[in-house]
Amino acid sequence: MFELFRFQARDAVTESKGPNRWDWALLPLVLAILGIFAFAAMQMSRPFAVGEALQISLDPAYLPYYLLRTILRMFTALAFSLIFSLIFAAIAAKYVAAEKVMIPALDILQSVPILGFQAIAIAPFIALFPGNLLGVECAAIFAIFTSQAWNMAFSLYQSIRNVPPELKEAAQIFRLSGWQRFWRLELPFAMPGLLWNMMMSMSGGWFFLVAAEAISVAGQDIKLPGIGSYIAVAIGARDGMAITWAIAAMLIGILLYDQLFFRPLLAWADKFRFEESQGETAQQSWLLDWMRSSRLFRAWIARFWLFLGRGLSWFSMQGDGTTVQVNQRFTHPAWPKVLDAALLLASVFAMYSLFIFIHSVVGWAEVAHVLGLGLITLVRVMLLIALASLFWVPVAVWIGLRPQYSQKVQAMAQFLAAFPVNLMFPLVVFAMVTFKLTPNIWLSPLMVFGTQWYILFNVVAGAATIPNELRLAADNLGLKGWLKWKRVYLPAVFPSYITGAITASGGSWNASIVAEYVTWGKTTLVADGLGSYIKQMTETGDFHRIALGIGVMCIFVMLLNRFFWRKLYLLAEDHLR
C-alpha cells in the first residue's frame, strides 16, 4: 500500500507548479481548523490545582467553545485508539499464543465500566502533571479512549482474520513479509470496515461523555469545559432549554466532522474495495474533490507519504533488500507450553485471591445476590441484542448496498449513536411516573439505545464491501427474496454482524450502569440488575462491592463471549467468509 502511495507521491511532488484556485479555497479552511485546535490545545494545559472550581455556564454563547474542547478530546482519544487497534489486531491475528491472552483481555476491558477506568487513571495522570490542567484532561481523554478503542480493535482483528484466501495466496507468491503483508494487504482490505467503526467509536465517546468530563477526585467534583459537563450541569439544574441547546450543539459538531473528516476518508477508502469492477457503490465527498483538484495540498500530502513510506520501509527491509524474519523467536515449540503454564498459574492465583476476598470481605451471600442480579442483566442484554438484530440487520444491508442512501443517513446515524442516554432521563421519568410503568421492564430499552448502532455500522460496512461481481452473479442465477438473503447477503455480512454484536453486547453491559438507575431531579427509578447495583455502590462509596460488581460483570461478559459469541465468530471465519 505504501509503495503505491510513494509512487503517487513522487508524481504529485513533480507535478506541483504553484497554487491554483482550489488552493486558495482550501487554504483559509485549513488555517482556520489549525488555528482553532491550537487555541483549544493551549487551553488544555493552563495552570490548575485540585480543589479549584471550574465554572460551567449554561449560557448557550459558551457552547461553541465547549464543543471545540470536547471534539479535540475525542479526536485525541481516537488517534490513540487507532494506534492501539493497529498494534493489537496485528499481534492478535498473527500469533496464536498472543491471541489466547489478548482476546479474553479485550473482552474484560470492554466490560469494565468507564467509572472503573476513571478510578484507576485519575490520580496517576494528575500526579504526572502537577499544578496543570493537562493531568485532568489526560484522564478525560483516557476515559473517552476506553469507550472507543475496543470496538476498533475487534473490527480490525476480524477483518485481518477474514482476508480472502486468494489474496493470501497472492501475498505468498510475492513473498511478502509479515510487516509488508499487513501494510499492503490486510490493512487496505480492512480499511472500509475500520472507518465505519471509527465513526461508531466517535459516537460511543459522545454516549459516555458526561462520565468522562465530569470527574470526581479527592472528594472534589471537576467539570472540564465541554459538552459533557454542560449536560451534567443542565441535568442537575433540570434546565430543559439548556439540554435542547446541548443537543443542537452536538448535532452541529457531528455534521462538521462528518463532512470534514469521515466523509472524505470513506470516499478515499473506496479504492480498497475487494472487487474487479467499481459498480455503483462509490462514496462522494466535496472536500475530497477539492483536495484532489488542489496542487499545493496534493504536494503537501505527497511529501508526507514519502516521509512515512521511507520510515516504514526501514522497518520492513534489511540492508541487502531481504525481508526481516521477525517471527523466528516466537516459533519455538516450547513457547506455547510455557504460555499455557503461565496462564494456568495466573488463573490459580486469581481464583485464590478471589476466594480470600469473598470469604473475608463481602461474604458468600452477597456474591450469590450479585450473581442473581447478573443473570437478570444477562437476560436483558441477550433479549435486547436479539430484537435489535432482527430490526437493524435488514436495514443495514439495504443501506450498505445503496451508497446514495448511506451517505444521507451517515451523519444522522452518528448523531443517534452519539445521543447520551442521560438526555432521555426527563422524558423517561415523566412517562414512567405518569403511566406508572414498571422499571424492570421499561428501563431496559435504555441499555441498548446507544449500543444497537454497533450492529448497524458494522453490517453497513460489511454490506458495502460485498463485491459487485457477487451481486451480479446472484442476479444472473435468478436468486430473489429470502433465497437471495440466505445464500448471499446474510453469509456475506455475518462476520461483520458478529463483530458488531460482540461490541454491542459488551457495551450494553456497560450501559446498564446508566440505564438501570435513572435520576432526574429528586426522582429516582431503579431496576433490578447488576448495573444498578454498581451505580448504588458507587454513590455510597463501597469500593469492595464496586469491585465485586465489576468483577462479576467481567465474568459474565467473558463466559458469554467464550461460549456463545466465540462459537459464532469461528463459524463466520471458517464457513461464511
Query: Residue 311: its pLDDT value, please?
Result: 52
Cβ-based neighbours of 158, under 8 Å, separated by 6 or more: 193, 495, 496, 498, 499, 569
| Nearest in space to 350 (alpha carbons), one of 108, 167, 185 | 108
Whole-number Å distance between alpha carbons of 497 and 10: 40
Triad 431, 436, 441: Cα angle to 5°: 80
Work out the average pLDDT over 518-543: 82
- How high is the pLDDT of residue 9? 47
- In whole angstroms, what is the distance from residue 566 CA to residue 563 CA? 6
Are 489 and 394 spatial neighbours (Cβ–Cβ below 8 Å)?
A: no
Q: Which residues contact 403 (CB under 8 A, 6 or more apart)?
A: 280, 281, 282, 283, 464
Looking at residue 308, its pLDDT comes to: 57
Highest mean pLDDT out of 3-12, 68-77, 479-488, 550-559: 68-77
Q: What is the pLDDT of residue 21?
A: 66
Q: Which contiguous run of DSSP H or E holds residue 517?
A: strand 517-520
What mean pLDDT is predicted for residues 6-19? 51
For residue 82, name the pLDDT band (cuts at 50, 70, 90).
Answer: very high
According to the model, what pLDDT value does residue 478 have?
A: 83
pLDDT reported for residue 61 = 93
Residue 315 pLDDT: 47
pLDDT of 575:
62
Band the pLDDT of 75: cuts 50, 70, 90.
Answer: very high
pLDDT for position 7 = 45
Give the tens place of pLDDT for each residue, 220-238. 678 899 998 998 888 778 7
| pLDDT value of position 64 | 93
Q: Which residues contact 70 (CB under 8 A, 6 or more apart)?
A: 209, 213, 226, 227, 228, 253
CA 99 to chain centre: 20
Q: What is the mean pLDDT of the chain?
A: 79
The arithmetic mean of pLDDT across residues 87-112, rounded, is 82
Nearest-angstrom CA–CA distance, 551 and 528: 18
Q: Does residue 44 contact residue 134 with C-beta atoms inside 8 Å?
A: yes
Our CA angle for 513, 519, 524, nearest 5°, is 105
Distance between CA atoms of residues 15 and 19, nearest Å? 12
Label residue 138 exposed, middle or buried (CB < 10 Å: 0-12, 13-18, 19+).
buried
Gap between the Cα atoms of 284 and 263, Å rounded: 8
What pLDDT is attached to residue 369? 92
Question: How many H helices and E strands in the chain?
Answer: 29, 4
More confident of the two residues 199 and 80? 80
Asked if residue 250 lies in contact with residue 258, where contact means CB atoms within 8 angstroms, the answer is no
pLDDT of 86 reads 92
The CA distance from 384 to 443, in Å, is: 12
Q: Cα separations (Å) of 297 from 14, 31, 75, 214?
A: 13, 12, 22, 39
pLDDT at 318: 39
Domain at 63-272+286-293+353-575, CATH homologous superfamily: MetI-like (1.10.3720.10)
Distance CA 370, CA 262 (A): 42
- Reported as a single tens digit per residue, the pLDDT across 150-187 is 889 988 998 888 888 888 888 888 888 777 888 888 88
What pLDDT shows up at residue 329?
Answer: 45
Residue identified by cell 480498497 is 272
Would you give the DSSP letter of residue 267?
Answer: H
Q: Please state the pTM of the whole predicted model.
A: 0.77
Choose from 37-51, 140-154, 399-413, 514-528 the range with maximum mean pLDDT: 140-154
Query: pLDDT class for 20, splitting at 50, 70, 90?
Result: low
Q: What percent of the chain has pLDDT over 90?
A: 14
pLDDT band per the 50, 70, 90 thresholds, residue 381: very high
Lowest-confidence region among 343-352, 373-382, 523-532: 343-352
Check: CB of residue 143 under 8 Å from CB of residue 74. no
Cα 96–97–100 angle (5° rounding)?
A: 85
pLDDT beyond 50 at 482: yes
* Buried/exposed code over 231-246 (b: 16+ C-beta within 10 A; e: otherwise): bbbbbeeeeeebbebb
310 vs 5: CA distance, rounded Å = 11
Higher pLDDT, 11 or 494: 494
Q: Answer whether residue 332 shows pLDDT above 70.
A: no
296 pLDDT higher than 50: yes
Range name among 359-368, 396-405, 408-417, 497-506 with the lowest pLDDT average? 408-417
pLDDT at 274: 62
Q: Is the pLDDT of residue 323 over 50?
A: no
Q: Where are the domains of the chain?
A: 1-20+294-322, 63-272+286-293+353-575
pLDDT (mean) for 376-393:
93
Under 8 Å between Cβ of 256 and 85: no
CA dihedral 475, 479, 485, 486 (to 10 degrees): -130
Task: Map grid coordinates 502533571 to a residue.
Answer: 129
Backbone angles phi, psi at 17, to 5 degrees: -115, -20
Q: pLDDT confidence of 2, banded at 50, 70, 90?
A: very low
> Does 285 or 366 have the greater pLDDT score?
366
Supply the DSSP symbol for 541.
Answer: T
Distance from CA of residue 85 to its chain's centroid? Answer: 10
Instruction: Please compute, for residue 251, the number of CA atoms within 13 A of its CA located in the half-sphere on the CB side.
Output: 8
Instruction: Name the band, by pLDDT with cuts 50, 70 and 90, for residue 5.
Output: very low
pLDDT confidence band for 219 (50 / 70 / 90): low
- The single-letter DSSP state of residue 322 is P
Percentage above 70 pLDDT, the chain? 81
Give the per-residue pLDDT at 310.
Answer: 57
Q: Is the pLDDT of residue 131 over 70?
A: yes
